[in-house]
Structure 1
Amino acid sequence: MRLTQLFLPTLREVPAEAEITSHKYMLRAGLMRKLAAGVYVYLPLGYRVLRKIENIVREEMDRSGAQEVLMSGIIPSELLEESGRWSAFGPEMFKLKDRHERDFCLGPTHEEVFTYVMKELTSYRDLPKILYQIQTKYRDEKRPRFGVIRSREFIMKDAYSFDMDWEGLDVSFGKMHDAYCRIFDRCGLKYRVVQADSGAMGGKESNEFMVMSEVGEDEIAHCENCDYAANVERAESRPDIREKQEEKPLELVATPDARTIQELTDFFETSPDNFAKTLIYTVKDQVIAVVIRGDRELNEVKLVNILECTKDDLRMAEDDVVKNVTNAEVGFAGPVGLKVDKLIVDEEVTYMSNFIVGANKTGYHYKNVNYGRDFKGDIVVDVRKVSDGDVCIRCGGRLSISKGIEVGHIFKLGTKYSEALGAKYLDENGQEHLMIMGSYGIGINRIMAAVIEQNSDENGIIWPMSIAPYHVIIVPVNTSDEVQASLAEDLYDVLSRNGVEVLLDDRDERAGVKFKDADLIGIPIRITVGKKARDRVVEIKDRRTGESLDLTVDQVLGYIKQKIEENMSKKE
């Protein structure tokens, strides 16, 4: 492709809307353009990258035994009502009505549709099966941001496995895990596989594939000593078990101007870990209280799972509700004598001694509170958010918290959808059983953004060879020089005929402009045709390392093909 023919609207200035590196470079390098908030169109260079990522995904999915299909992008409400997700998805689901007032949605994911299709298979001889598609998905994000990292329209590979039993699901899950590792390896990503919360997807177990990046919206807890890693929504740590002190008498203390943990630590001249704070929520028609140590944060995802509700069901209690259950102003809630429908206590609180809590009396707190003597929880469970430096639940090492971008997620769904939609099979004895399902998703355009986050510098993108829009760019320094122009054309012809994806910068621009654009769009190898063209010598420059060498024209093809093969085979 010649640059004079290529639609490549590069930008010199960083767009005001772009906050992170990938968003800036995807706009500046002419890969995409914004159509609306969270909605983008892909231009030729960007679409070539997307197609290469899709091809890698297809190759590895096919290699795993999965079969590609294409489902409808609009889904009738009945299917999602059967599974309970028509309401569970909440306002993120794009809903619409047809001319007959029938409800549909733009597919946010396709578990129900695949399950509906698989109902046609009724014999154990038809199983197992893994089907997948690559398709646009739609979610009405409240706050689209970071370009395609969090958008309202995105390209996703979603796959679904159907097995006879849990042992079969373990095999399918393992196949997808391995396929995902090969996909992300081939795309040149550095990633971690972490335990995750299944959320609205449901199911028994799930793993996320996280690309480590400081701009990631997800936090990952990982052990410094072992391979334990989990999204902080799911992460667990060993409780801080302290030696029990002799219990002191419960004492009511006037604290008229102290409500927050900071105010209380100043008042009592102690540290936050000597307090237990009581948080009050409403869940549908119930009032729930949660007690955690004063220096801890509540993990609301864990709480939602414990209560078996949705995130929308869980709300911080209004002031009038707090006053009603505590008989006090807001800021003085505590577990002693608290009248709520359910009291949940973080397990760490049970190891504390002589701690301080609100007294459910305006202007007062209790000191020397002890679990078991002064109050008991209806549920004692891990409901705290893991913190940096916590003790690993697996090996006892220390946990660190890092940020990451989720590019893949695999779930063991079990029978959640097969039971709701009636996907059953008959065994060899004619007995009916529910199919055991798995769900496996990859964000295609998120991979593209994540690669840029990990592979860029101050000059632009540095594409891995496997997904680069072109392998080579030829830059004649002076297109009006007949020798340089002719040699550049000869090289372009030879490389193209031998299967090398090559750009020819035949624009009438200064060399500096051409070099800047080559670096910005991130082509792995640059061939500069300059003053040595009369000797049939050109400069070859590696975009990633910055290293360069001079080669004769006769050496170029062999060298380029060898470099491409080396870079491609590294991640195969």
Structure 2
Amino acid sequence: MKLEKLVGDRFKERPADCVIDSHALMVKGGYIKYVANGIYSSFLPLKRITRKIEQILREEMDKVDGQEVQFPVVMPASIWEESGRYESIGDELLRFTDRNGAKMVLGMTHEEAAVQLVREYAQSYTKYPFMIYQIQTKFRDEARPRAGLIRVREFTMKDAYSFHTSQEDLEQYYQRVHKAYERIFERAGIPEVVSVASDSGMMGGSLSHEFMLLTPIGEDSIVLCDDCGYKANMEAAENISDIPRAAESAELEKVHTPNIHTIEDICEFFGDKTNNSCKAVVYQKNSDDSYVVVFIRGDLEINETKLVNYLGDQIHAAVITEECGLNAGYIGPVGLHINAPHVVLYDKSLEGRNNLSCGANEEEYHFKGLDMERDVKDAEYHDFAKVYEGGICPKCGKKTVRISKGIEVGNIFQLGTKYTKSMKMTYVDKDGERQTPIMGCYGIGVGRLAAAVCEAHHDEYGPIWPKEIAPWQVHLCAVRPDNEEVKAFADDLYEKMQNAGIEVIYDDRTVSAGIMFADADLLGIPLRVIVSPRNMKQGIVEVTSRDKTLKEQVPVENVFEEIQKYL
């Protein structure tokens, strides 16, 4: 490939709207072009990168007995109605009506399509187990696309679906795919990706893992323990409280607290710590606007994903009106009266606690001396809190939790029978009985993986692509191609590499060395070969690596062999 023919501009300035490095470098380097919010076109360098990633995905999925299929991007709403997700998923699912008045959706995921494809085929236990996968365009109408290819609306994804006749068989296969994912990320150049336990979310199922690239620009919070190796997504990590019950309980006392509304202010008023208080956080369900009041320890935050999973309904911050009976700023568990449909929940951090402060459900009054066992006898406790830095590790019990940011580059789920049961997929077992097959699901975003590799491996000048997925293997620079000796040698070397099957991009433009090398940095090719008049006079060619671990002056007669050796 001649660089002068490469479509797409490269430029020096950082785009103002690019908040992370991988986004900026892909725009600067001529990899992507903005089309609409969360939608990009790809130029050839990125296309070559994603093509190689897709090949790695195919090879690793084939190794675990996967069969490649292809589902449609556009699907009838009817199969999503079968699973129940047509109504349960929010605005992320793009719904439309075709010219015949039929309800349709753009696929954001393909569990329904997978079941629809194989439910007539797999009606006997002899057909199991099996796995099908695709690499396909998807559309998820994200509310806040960001960070270039890290969070987009239209994307290409490898998604796989396995079908089993027992939970044991699913678990064994799940581990095989887990190891395949580790190989995929290692081959793609980011072996530092970690697997963390995660929340299954809208996918459903009993067990799931996310594969996270730990980086400060990540949008997911990861809970880690360096002592025992515990790793979990914030939504899946249990918060553990170890504050003991006081030996003696104080009397419950109502105190006049004028102009005090916040937990911090009331604790300062009482001269106590926020972890000795009980606060109320109020939401409303999206489905019917009924109120959800969650009582939690004053220094903790609600993990809304945990709450949504418990309720089975989406939520939003409550609008507290006079008619509802709640007294904002003074809500407490004792004497609580709500004149509207509602549910009251209690976080585990309050279980067994006493001598707490809380609202008294009356303007300008709080209680002190709250004893949960004595004063709120009917409370049931569940985990609704976010884990925090320095908290207790759910695995080893030490106060060693740390929070890191990460980019999710893949996920795997044990779906169970969520889709097969709702879509009435069955098979006849060896005893002639009808059974429901069990599913697993395994996804990797192709463009997001490319962006994550760029985020992990770059410098201030451009990406440093691992050679396994780099758009080309060698970047040949002919400095001063108007020099006959330079031009002749570089042309000959270019032809030799092409004939040997080496992927090479050749820059023989009549531009300055500075422009030539700046473009080479932005393309991030692993090996750079520099032919120049000065080098020719010395009978050498300069061979350098993009990651700066290699810089050699190679005799011209040996340069082709050295390139092959390096690759």
Please report the TM-score for the alignment, with normalisation by the length of structure 1: 0.95
- Distance in 2 (alpha carbons) for counterparts of 1:210 and 1:74: 30
- Distance in 2 (alpha carbons) for counterparts of 1:377 and 1:7: 69
- Distance in 2 (alpha carbons) for counterparts of 1:288 and 1:378: 15
- The equivalent of 1:60 in structure 2 is 60
Deviations 1:330-372 (A, max 9, x none): 1100011223543321112124330100000110000011111
Where in structure 2 are the equivalents of 1:157-556 lying within 5 Å? 157-189=158-190, 190-283=192-285, 284-285=287-288, 286-307=290-311, 309-311=312-314, 314-320=315-321, 324-326=324-326, 328=327, 330-339=328-337, 341-397=342-398, 398-530=400-532, 531-556=534-559
- The equivalent of 1:559 in structure 2 is 562
Name the CA shift for 1:486/1:377 in 2 (closer, same or farther; >3 Å). Answer: farther
Shift of 1:466: 0.5
SS at match of 1:392: coil
> Is 1:194–1:231's contact at 8 Å kept on the other side of the alignment?
yes
- Distance in 2 (alpha carbons) for counterparts of 1:154 and 1:111: 17
- Distance in 2 (alpha carbons) for counterparts of 1:119 and 1:351: 50
Deviations 1:479-519 (A, max 9, x none): 11111111111111112211211111111100111111111
> Is 2:25–2:522's contact at 8 Å kept on the other side of the alignment?
yes
Deviations 1:358-408 (A, max 9, x none): 000110000011111011354201110000111111112311100001110
Shift of 1:187: 0.7
Q: Residue 6 of structure 2 aligns to which amino acid in structure 1?
A: L
- Distance in 2 (alpha carbons) for counterparts of 1:373 and 1:379: 14
Q: Residue 337 of structure 1 aligns to which amino acid in structure 2?
A: G
Runs of 4+ in 1 over 4 A off after TM superposition: none
> Is 1:491–1:553's contact at 8 Å kept on the other side of the alignment?
no
- Distance in 2 (alpha carbons) for counterparts of 1:241 and 1:128: 48
Shift of 1:243: 4.7
- Distance in 2 (alpha carbons) for counterparts of 1:551 and 1:282: 70
- Distance in 1 (alpha carbons) for counterparts of 2:99 and 2:506: 51
Shift of 1:269: 2.5
- Distance in 1 (alpha carbons) for counterparts of 2:104 and 2:536: 63
Name the CA shift for 1:310/1:560 in 2 (closer, same or farther; >3 Å). Answer: farther
Where in structure 2 are the equivalents of 1:79-94 lying within 5 Å? 79-94=79-94
Deviations 1:426-450 (A, max 9, x none): 1112111001001111010000110
- The equivalent of 2:44 in structure 1 is 44
Long gaps (5+) in structure 2: none
> Is 1:77–1:105's contact at 8 Å kept on the other side of the alignment?
yes
Shift of 1:535: 4.4
Where in structure 2 are the equivalents of 1:8-157 lying within 5 Å? 8-120=8-120, 121-157=122-158
SS at match of 1:391: coil
Shift of 1:552: 1.5
Shift of 1:546: 4.9
SS at match of 1:373: helix
Q: Residue 304 of structure 1 aligns to which amino acid in structure 2?
A: V
Shift of 1:563: 2.2
- Distance in 1 (alpha carbons) for counterparts of 2:150 and 2:157: 12
> Is 1:343–1:379's contact at 8 Å kept on the other side of the alignment?
no
CA RMSD between the two structures: 1.4
- The equivalent of 1:568 in structure 2 is none
- Distance in 1 (alpha carbons) for counterparts of 2:272 and 2:508: 72
Long gaps (5+) in structure 1: 565-572
- Distance in 1 (alpha carbons) for counterparts of 2:535 and 2:303: 65
> Is 1:250–1:366's contact at 8 Å kept on the other side of the alignment?
yes
SS at match of 1:484: helix
> Is 1:233–1:299's contact at 8 Å kept on the other side of the alignment?
yes
More deviation, 111-120/488-497 = 488-497
SS at match of 1:104: strand
- Distance in 2 (alpha carbons) for counterparts of 1:315 and 1:505: 56
Shift of 1:266: 2.7
Q: Residue 339 of structure 1 aligns to which amino acid in structure 2?
A: H
Name the CA shift for 1:237/1:318 in 2 (closer, same or farther; >3 Å). Answer: closer
Please report the TM-score for the alignment, with normalisation by the length of structure 2: 0.96
> Is 1:244–1:351's contact at 8 Å kept on the other side of the alignment?
no
Q: Residue 299 of structure 2 aligns to which amino acid in structure 1?
A: D
Identity %: 41
> Is 2:65–2:131's contact at 8 Å kept on the other side of the alignment?
yes
SS at match of 2:361: coil
- Distance in 2 (alpha carbons) for counterparts of 1:499 and 1:535: 29
> Is 1:158–1:440's contact at 8 Å kept on the other side of the alignment?
yes
> Is 1:136–1:154's contact at 8 Å kept on the other side of the alignment?
yes
